[in-house]
Amino acid sequence: MLVLAIETSCDETSAAVLRTAAQERGHAPEVLFVPPALVPEPAAAPDVLSNIVLSQDEVHAPYGGVVPELASRQHIKTIAVIVSEGLSRAGVALEKIDLYAVTQGPGLIGSLLIGLSFAKGLAYYHKKPLVGVDHLEAHLEACFLENPGIEYPVLGLLVSGGHTALYLMEEPLSYKLLGRTRDDAAGEALDKIAKFLGLGYPGGPVIEKLGRGGDPKAFPFAVPRTKDRSLDFSFSGLKTAALKHIREHGIVKDDARLPDFLASFEEVVARTLVDNLRRAADAVQPRSLVLCGGVARNTRLRARFQDFARDAGLPAYIPSPKLCTDNAAMVGALALKKFARRPDPATDLDLDAYARA
Ligand code: KG4
Ligand code: ZN
């Protein structure tokens, strides 16, 4: 079975082609008339034949953050070429696609609608099923693409530019939200501090690069805690503390203290995330841990996450960097699992985009 997946929830236009492992073994999945409860989970991860990601970073960089209207216009310009590039890199003709997959939300509504409309058009024309996918669940699914045997229950930490949340996955396709940010997402906090210092967009990678070699203890940041000790996150206090340090110490773009400052800020963000993960793990006793989302590319966060997993004696998984940031392969992987569970051969043209989780 071949799936063409499209992701346009924010500022990346992405298309991927995946092939289920079943087809490779020579038997097409005969799942169409099996009652959902009897359909087995796919035993092996699908093969990612292509995963094309076109970032709009250059378009948004002058503004220090994503400008929604510009993002939509850019998706309109690039979607057709990215989809055909995805197909040609995979060596697959459009007529061979068995299933279409697309991100429905959450995200920027204009951006989402472009991917969704494009996918609907293709599925309708080719009379093939279309599966809508949640962007956050797709980020979590990215971990299973490279490690299909991750043991449940899984505790997932999702850290991106728009979201920061903890999920308990007791079984495949089940996502229980344990806590989420009450204000800024972790990536957003990094992006805003970078913007304030005039370092460019996106902020996470720039902070990582410029903070390399800096002393993470040089600036005293305290790990924030929510008063009710819930598993929610809050990054707005940290952002304010960072701005205060910047003003008090007169830190500027070319400052000799910049690496120390950035390393300290990055360190406290990583510690804040892992602190909540630790409390969640105590509460739900998972069998494995996953870290995902764009900020999961960060070396410091990856190290703190792995330190904790080692202490807790739990297997821990992080997608390879390309699968952490927004990409269509994770959307296709989740769609294949959803389709295996509820195989509906009809094209679903009623799918709606949604901006919020
Ligand atoms: O998951 P993603 O691609 O998009 C959303 O769904 O939001 O995440 C984008 C976020 C941005 O805030 C960006 O600054 C951050 O991921 N990011 C990083 C790194 N690479 C991307 N943050 C820290 N270190 C990185 N290396
Ligand atoms: Zn994302």
pLDDT in tens, the chain (357 residues): 999 999 999 999 999 999 997 544 444 444 444 444 444 455 689 999 999 999 999 999 999 899 999 999 999 999 999 999 999 999 999 999 999 999 999 999 999 999 999 999 999 999 999 999 999 999 999 999 999 999 999 999 999 999 999 999 999 999 999 999 999 999 999 999 999 999 999 999 999 999 999 999 999 999 998 888 899 999 999 999 999 999 999 999 999 999 999 999 999 999 999 999 999 999 999 999 999 999 999 999 999 999 999 999 999 999 999 999 999 999 999 999 999 998 988 888 999 999 998
Tell me the C-alpha distance between 122 and 135, whole Å. 20
User: Domain range spanning residue 274?
Assistant: 152-314
Whether 280 is in a domain gets the answer: yes
H or E segment at 99? strand 99-105
Whether 246 is in a domain gets the answer: yes
**Is 202's C-beta closer than 6 angstroms to any atom of ligand 1?**
yes
Residue-level pLDDT at 55: 97
Residue to probe by mutation, ligand 1, list 266, 297, 322, 327, most atoms within 8 Å of CB? 297
**Is 286's C-beta closer than 6 angstroms to any atom of ligand 1?**
no
List the CATH number of the domain containing 182: 3.30.420.40
Whole-angstrom CA distances from 154 to 51, 228, 291, 308, 351 are: 26, 25, 10, 15, 29
> Within this chain, do residues 100 and 209 fall inside the same structural domain, yes or no?
no
**Is 319's C-beta closer than 6 angstroms to any atom of ligand 1?**
no
**Count of structural domains within the chain:** 2
Instruction: Read off the amino acid at residue 356.
Output: R
Residue to probe by mutation, ligand 1, list 57, 60, 137, 190, most atoms within 8 Å of CB? 190
Q: Nearest 5°: phi and psi at 151? A: -85, 135
> Within this chain, do residues 20 and 166 fall inside the same structural domain, yes or no?
no
Classified as helix, coil or strand, 147 is coil
Residue-level pLDDT at 22: 57
Whether 355 is in a domain gets the answer: no
Whether 357 is in a domain gets the answer: no
